[in-house]
Structure 1
Amino acid sequence: MNEKWKTITKFPDYDVSDQGRIRSWRKPGRKPNQKRKKPKFLKPWLDKDGYCQVTLCKNKNQTSKKVHRLVLETFVKSCPKGYWTCHNNGIKTDNRLINLRWDTPKNNHADKIKHGTTNRGSQHGLSKLTEKQVLKIKKDPRVQRLIAADYNVIRQTISLIKTQKTWTWLK
């Protein structure tokens, strides 16, 4: 399979491939019109959410860009309003064109649930309860105020659990 390369429209000194790789023709510290004889491949790093990013320069200004967005914007088109970049297989570092698409936030969230990559339950950074505690709460016959006091949460949290509005996947 041949890797296809296209110049990044907003950053003409850089190319992106359909395999999610970025290369630079820019010679750092030189006149802007000087190019390398051979391109330099950029090494992406992971941002706080686990997505690949690279730093691109234009007119002496550096900008960090997510690789998956560069691939889609270069090979498909710019992002339609209200759409997000989605990874078909749920792997945030797989930036091949065949694995990417523009889609709605709702469909992206459904994908995250399907792939098991959503932060729900005790994996969510703001969760005060574990799955084990929630299962105990669901079975606890006492009044919600007392249960809430035992787990150091507000009564409404207990109400949402008991009425199946949150933690719905736990039975």
Structure 2
Amino acid sequence: MQEEIWMRIPGFDDRYEASSDGRIRSNWSNKQRVLGTRTTDAGYVTVSLRCGGKAFTRTVNRLVALAFYGEPADPSYHACHNDGDKSNNQVSNIRWDTPSGNAADKLVHGTNWQLNKTHCAQGHEYTPENTRMMKSGGRRCITCKRADSNQRYRDQCGDSFGTHKGKKLTAETIAAMRDLRAQGLIYREIAERYGVSAPTARLAILGESHRTA
């Protein structure tokens, strides 16, 4: 069994230390006491610290990383668990890594709670056709993304949204516009051909709000 090593945690006036076994202790007036911990709903182990008359709650994995590896190369870095077990805060299991590196860990370990969801917050199913993978490792519902984009167009166009000088779009016109889009024309080019605004052309092609004759 390896000997437990204690290192000072920077930033707390030399009052706290972290151990290689993932324990935190106070060191006030030469009196050392191992601190009790709490576990968050997300599974992270935390401790309460005091410094400068203020109380702080910090995760143990980050304190261990600070004590043994120093400040991260970038403030956005995460203190990652190599094995995916948030309760295992031994120094050998902790490393600094980028947010994307942490997200990749969660994919490998199956601990990304977002990826365990079958539907988005609006109730749309995460099917392969309705899912966009993000660089962070998360997912975006394509249906919701389109709805957000359409709402932005509505906000920009105000009360005139859906028409251009009262012009109505027939079902045949919309079908023709969709054919042009499939051929690679951009919305602005299609809109100019039919005398409507680009937002109106876009939403008609996508099957959203528009006036038909």
TM range (shorter): 0.5 to 0.7
With over 3 angstroms needed to count, the CA separation of the structure-2 counterparts of 1:155 and 1:58, relative to structure 1, is closer
1:78 equivalent to 2:41? Answer: no
Counterpart selection for 1:62 from 37, 55, 58: 55
Unaligned runs of 5+ residues in structure 1 are 27-33, 139-153, 160-171
Distance 2:58 2:119 in 1: 26
Distance 2:26 2:41 in 1: 24
CA contact (8 A) 1:7 1:16 kept: yes
Provide the secondary structure at the position in 2 that maps to 1:6: strand
Counterpart selection for 1:122 from 99, 117, 121: 117
Overall identity of the aligned pairs, in %: 32
Structure scoring higher RCO (CA < 8 A, sep ≥ 6) equals: 1
1:102 equivalent to 2:96? Answer: yes
Determine the structure 2 residue equivalent to 1:16: 18
Equivalent residue letter for 1:47: T
Deviation at 1:123, TM superposition (A): 6.5
Deviation at 1:155, TM superposition (A): 8.5
Distance 1:6 1:25 in 2: 11
Determine the structure 1 residue equivalent to 2:197: none
Provide the secondary structure at the position in 1 that maps to 2:15: strand
Higher helix share: 2
Distance 2:59 2:122 in 1: 28
Distance 1:53 1:124 in 2: 31
CA contact (8 A) 1:122 1:129 kept: no
Determine the structure 1 residue equivalent to 2:85: 91
Equivalent residue letter for 1:20: G
Distance 2:24 2:15 in 1: 11
Determine the structure 1 residue equivalent to 2:41: 48
CA contact (8 A) 1:84 1:103 kept: yes
TM-score (norm 1): 0.66
TM-score (norm 2): 0.54
- The superposition leaves residues 64-121 of structure 1 with CA deviations (integer Å, 9 ceiling, x where unpaired) of 1111111111101201214221110001111111101111222211110110101114
Distance 2:118 2:34 in 1: 35
Distance 1:16 1:49 in 2: 22
Q: RMSD value over aligned CA atoms?
A: 2.9
Equivalent residue letter for 1:88: N
1:156 equivalent to 2:150? Answer: no
- Aligned residues between the structures: 132
Higher strand share: 1
Deviation at 1:57, TM superposition (A): 1.1
